[in-house]
Amino acid sequence: MILTNIDSVPGKQIVQHFGLVQGSTIRAKHFGRDFAAGLKNIVGGELKGYTELLQESRTEATNRMIAQARELGANAIINVRFTTSSVAQGASEILAYGTAVRVE
């Protein structure tokens, strides 16, 4: 599966459009419980635990999007977008969406 966030796959021709595909996941971050992040909050800088957590969520959302595209018979997803939004206190939704196409 080829992913791009532009309108085409350079060097290839789009032969069929399958429409929008998407994948999302909502993850809760356990604030008070995450002791390491709490300590890190004092000195500032990167909170590695959260970086990894969100990265995992994004991979999960992307994989769900890819699975949807594969089911449709696509071999590429163009114009991929990522968004993150807080849907509830302490939980964020990660959404990946794009246009499934067949390229040759």
Partner 1 sequence: MSIELLILLFVPLVLLVIGRIVGAHLERAHYASIAEREARFSRQPALSTKHVDAPAPIQSTSLASGSVVVSIDQFKRFLSRFRMLIGGEVRPYTKLIERARREAILRMKESQPDADLYINTRLETSNISSASGEGGMGIVEVLAYGTAVHYARSHDQ
> Residues 2-21: x/- map of binding to partner 1 (CB under 8 A)?
xxxxxx-xxx----------
Q: What is the DSSP string of 54-69?
A: HHHHHHHHHHHHHHHH
- d(CA 31, CA 38) in angstroms, rounded, equals 8
Among 18, 64, 92, 102, interactor with partner 1 by CB under 8 A? 92
For residue 33, the 8-state DSSP code is T
> What residue type is 20 in one-letter code?
L
* b/e burial code for range 7-18 (CB count within 10 A of at least 16 → b): eebeeeeeeeeb
Among 33, 35, 42, 104, interactor with partner 1 by CB under 8 A? 42
User: Between 46 and 104, whose beta carbon lies closer to partner 1?
Assistant: 46
| Minimal distance, residue 68 CB to partner 1, in Å | 16
> Residues 21-40: x/- map of binding to partner 1 (CB under 8 A)?
--------x-x--------x
- Hey, is 100 helix, strand or coil? strand
- Residues of this chain that interact with partner 1 (CB under 8 A) are 2-7, 9-11, 29, 31, 40-48, 50-51, 54-55, 58, 80-86, 89-90, 92
